[in-house]
Amino acid sequence: MNVYDFSARTVRGGEQPLADYRGQVLLIVNTATKCGFAPQFHQLQELYERYREQGFAVLGFPCNQFANQEPGGSEQVEQACRLDFGVTFPLFAKIDVNGPNTDPLFAYLRKRTSGFLGSSIKWNFTKFLVSRDGEAVKRFSPATAPLKFERRIAALLEPKA
């Protein structure tokens, strides 16, 4: 099993098989537009623009489980991401990343990449790096700015010898 076995509802309500991203390096992030870490949207967008032609995508999954920092509906979330932060990478419908209603993709990611204090997600902007073969290879904490691990992304994008 890998991330390509999952699908997700887009921010506009359509169903998106993650198999459509097969062969790409992915950075999957639980986001919140009212979070103190929301300025990371700019770095996520920068990475997306820099590497998308090489087979890289950022996938944003809004979540309201942490201090009610994503209270709006899908339209409000999309508008805030696009207008306030300049996001053009794919956005998905609001999900739960912990608890009884955890999205299956995030249950898988949590299990594959336990964090410092176990598998649960501690806050918004937890980032999961996924290799071209759909394997979750690394989890980054909310406090880790996306540009700090740019070299890891670039390494996964290198052609295999």
Catalytic residue among 28, 32, 35, 58: 35
**H/E element, 49:** helix 40-51
Q: How far apart are CA 3 and CA 54, in angstroms?
A: 19
In a domain, 64, yes or no: yes
Range of the domain at 141: 3-156
| 35 noted as active-site residue | yes
Q: What is the pLDDT of residue 72?
A: 87
Under 8 Å between Cβ of 156 and 131: yes
Q: How far apart are CA 19 and CA 38, in angstroms?
A: 28
In a domain, 40, yes or no: yes
Total domains in the fold of the chain: 1
Q: To the nearest whole percent, how much of the chain has pLDDT over 70?
A: 97
Per-residue pLDDT tens digits for 4-23: 999 999 999 999 999 999 99
Across 105-120, average pLDDT: 81
Give the range among 36-40, 61-65, 74-78 with minimum mean pLDDT.
Answer: 74-78
Query: What is the length of the chain?
Result: 161
In a domain, 161, yes or no: no
**Which whole-number Å values give the CA distances from 146 to 80, 93, 132, in the listed order?**
20, 22, 18
Residue type at 54 in one-letter notation? Q
In a domain, 127, yes or no: yes
Give 161's pLDDT tier (boundaries 50, 70, 90): low
Per-residue pLDDT tens digits for 18-28: 999 999 999 99
Whichever domain contains 41, its CATH number is 3.40.30.10
